A and B are shown apart, each in its own frame.
Chain A
Amino acid sequence: MIERSMVEHAMVALGPLLERLLAGEFICAVSDESAFRHLEDEATREQIDTYLRPLNRRLAANPEGSVYFLAWRQLSDDAREQLSRQLGDTVNSLLPLLEWLQLVQEALGRDALIAPGDVLKPAEISARCEDNQSLRERLERLATDGFFGSQSEQLDAQIKQVFKRLREHGYLLQPHAERQVYLVTGKIDYLIDLVRFIRDEENLPVEEEGAATQEALL
């Protein structure tokens, strides 16, 4: 009896987290550190799964376990239909997202992709694009792509729209509504994992490993 009430008590504390998960959010160490710590505990994950059972949902994670989300427990025809549509949307948004990742990497002069926890400032990217015609053109093409859907011809408005869409899709987080500073979330990990998965499943000729000779020397 006591044990049961303790479990109930714990579930009440997890209420806000459950609500976010049910709403389709991805939970990572950047988006909600304390919730993420809870989710790393197996007992908590089991409790949540038990709770979600009547809703035909369960907790799922990407392979590295850096981001959690909800999956269907039983796959009905309706669920499969929904997943097909969702997959189609994801595949359609893949190229603009990957090109954006590359654009940011180049604009910031880095040789690694942005990663969860990285800080992005639209003003910084805007300044870099202003100085570089090729980046400017690429951003223009990207921003007016259907996924980002900018209608503007102004660079700043385009960047604003791109950041807005990325925030809506959960790839970026804006900690203070009035400040133009964004954090990269763990959903980026999910995107990369999905890309790797599609590459493997479809046997696409896309390399990932470093030059073999270099590895051999180590």
Chain B
Amino acid sequence: MIGADTHDPHALESRLVSTGAERLALLGKHAEALMAGYTRDEVPLAALSEAALRKLLAARILWRPDEQGGVKLAPKVRELIAEMLADESRRHVNADVAETLELLRSLVQSYREARDLGEHWRQEQHLLRLRQEVDDLNGRFADAIDSLWQRLNSDFGFVSRLNDKIRENDRAQKQIVRLLDGLALIDFDELIELVGSDGALRKLLISQLQQQLSQHYTGLREVQRRLIELMARFRQQQSRSRLVAGMAAFLREHPGFVPGNYARRSEVPALVNRATPLTAAAAPALDRHLDVKVLTELLHRLPAPPHKPQTVTAAGPAEAQEASLVAARQQALKQDVERFYLTVIDHDGEALSALAYLRASDMAWTDEIWLFQVIAEFQGLPRGEQCAFRLHQEESQASPFNHLRLIHDVHLQLALPA
């Protein structure tokens, strides 16, 4: 090479070539220091002599971004190394496919020769090998895709930190690109030519392989799409955490912070425009005949409306907060009514009038309160126990002009099984 240079008639070109060669040699000579700079951001100066450093800076392989800072790889050199390394890993997978293809070609050749010579046994052996190789190729893609799906479906559960998940996702995406590159190496036009008119080869290397590879291709594209989606989600999660942490820190540092009043702008931002809640209220109306009937029925089904809050919560623990006198009276009333219920049970199916019971006793409850509590107690019973009693209300219509009914007394009896 150098010898050729001295005979070159064009001096300029020769100088160019020699300078270039010198500088390329610099790359090789300091390869380790430069690679250390590639992985660690800064080039370790201890590994370089003063003269070597000067040469590397002059060749613009290294540069000093600022006077005080360390020495770094020139961006172009960094790119070059990245390119070379990426190609290295890419070549690796492609080589697998390329090697298999090479093997397939030579096996087809051997198979043909055996067929032409009429050596059936050898022909069969070659076909078997071919089949194994094709299966193997298929299996490698299928395994890779399977492992990608597993990683994807577990949300990269084997690493816990979001940053690691992002890194793993990125690696998986690169792997997909390599697999797709590998698939692209398989040229069916070439295979069609290779197998010629042989039916068995055609079936194996064209129709079967094509179908399998197209499945792999679809599978890979699908995983790729999902990985990209997942990556977007990871990134969104990451940015949300940062936003919340940053905003919280800002608000802590600036306790008096008040944002602008967006509600006073001519264009109120969409997020800020939230209408006041509105309750869709409705009240019972008696101006429609049909409704009156329904409402009356509802009214009848109400368990003693004026005392409802007391009676229903009578035994509840919230009771403790009520004025103790009221609570005690309420409790006494409840106990008296319970005693009435027990008496009814003792009477074996005979109906007892609640008012008659009240009168016969020395209890001081007013009729109204007593009846309400008896009815409320019935309403408050669990469904199963309610069935054990029959409550009959003795009532009449309050006036001919409405459907209000007055309860005069209630009869309670034990519902004995027929």
Cα(A197)–Cα(B270), bound, Å: 10
Residue in B closest to A210 when the chains form the complex, CB atoms: B238
In the complex, the answer to whether B247 meets A197 with C-beta atoms within 8 Å is no
| Docked pose: A209 CA to B246 CA in angstroms | 11
A209 touches B274 (CB 8 A): no
Q: Mark A161-205, 1 if CB is under 8 A from B, else 0.
A: 000000000000000000000000000001011111111011011
Known contacts A22-B280, A70-B275, A201-B260; A83/B268 CB under 8 A: yes
A209 to B236, CA, bound (A): 9
- The reply to whether A207 and B262 form a contact with Cβ atoms under 8 Å apart is no
Q: How far is the CA of A132 from the CA of B249 in the complex (A)?
A: 22
- B243: A residues at CB distance < 8 A: 192, 195-196, 199, 206, 208
A42 within 8 A of B: no
Residue A55 lies at the interface, judged by CB distance under 8 Å to chain B: yes
Tell me if B's interface is mostly helix, strand, loop or mixed: helix
Task: Give the shortest distance, in Å, between B228 (CB) and chain A (any CB).
Answer: 11
Which one of A62, A83, A102, A198 lies within 8 Å of B248 (CB-CB)? Answer: A102
Query: Is A113 part of the contact surface with B, judged by Cβ < 8 Å?
Result: yes
Q: Which residues of A contact B269 (CB under 8 A)?
A: 197, 201
Q: In the bound complex, how far is the Cα of B235 from the Cα of A216, in angstroms?
A: 14
Tell me how many residues of A have a C-beta within 8 Å of chain B.
55
Alpha-carbon gap, A49 to B281, bound state (A): 20
Residue B276 is within 8 A (CB to CB) of chain A in the complex:
yes
Asked if B261 is at the interface (CB within 8 A of a chain A CB), the reply is: yes
Total of A-B residue pairs, C-beta within 8 Å: 136
A67 nearest CB across to chain B (Å): 11
Across the interface, A71 reaches (CB within 8 A) one of B160, B163, B274, B279, namely: B274
Cα of A113 to Cα of B273 in the assembled complex, Å: 26
Write the chain A residue with the least CB distance to B239: A208
Of A28-36, A87-95, A122-130, A146-154, the stretch lying at the interface with chain B is A87-95
Chain A proximity mask over B268-300: 1 for CB below 8 Å, otherwise 0:
111111111111100000000000000000000
Q: How far is the CB of B418 from chain A (nearest CB, A)?
A: 38
- Asked if A22 and B239 sit within 8 Å, CB to CB, the answer is no
Contact A82 B276 (CB under 8 A): yes
One of B251-259, B325-333, B378-386 at the interface: B251-259
Residues of A within 8 A of B264 (CB): 80, 84
Q: Residue B161 contacts which of A75, A80, A111 (CB distance < 8 angstroms)? A: A111
Residue of A nearest to B243 (CB): A208
Task: Report if B250 contacts A (CB, 8 A).
Answer: yes
Name the contact of A202 in the complex, choosing from B239, B260, B268, B278 (C-beta under 8 A). B260
Closest Cβ–Cβ distance, residue A54 to chain B (whole Å): 12
Cβ B271 vs Cβ A194 within 8 A = yes
Chain B contributes a number of interface residues (CB within 8 A of A) equal to 43
Is B237 at the interface (CB under 8 A from chain A)? yes
Chain A proximity of B258: nearest CB distance (Å): 7
Cβ–Cβ contact B259 & A198, under 8 A: yes
- A144 lies within 8 A of chain B by Cβ: no
Residues of B within 8 A of A86 (CB): 263, 274
Determine whether the beta carbon of B262 is less than 8 Å from that of A201: yes
CB of B241 within 8 Å of the partner chain: yes
Is residue A12 contacting chain B, with contact meaning CB distance below 8 A? no
Cross-chain contact B244 with A195 (CB below 8 angstroms): yes
Which residues of chain A are within 8 angstroms of B276 by Cβ–Cβ distance? 24, 79, 82
Residue from A192, A195, A206 having most chain B Cβ neighbours under 10 A: A206
CB contacts (< 8 Å) of A75 on chain B: these are 268, 273
Min CB distance B254 to A, Å, is: 9
Cross-interface CB contact of A60 among B241, B250, B273, cutoff 8 Å: B273
Interface residues of A (CB under 8 A from B): 18-19, 22-24, 55-57, 60, 62-63, 69-72, 75, 79-80, 82-84, 86-87, 91, 94-95, 98-99, 101-102, 105, 111-113, 115, 190, 192-199, 201-202, 204-210, 214, 218
- CB<8 Å pairs between A and B, sample of 6: A71-B273, A112-B241, A199-B247, A201-B260, A210-B235, A210-B238
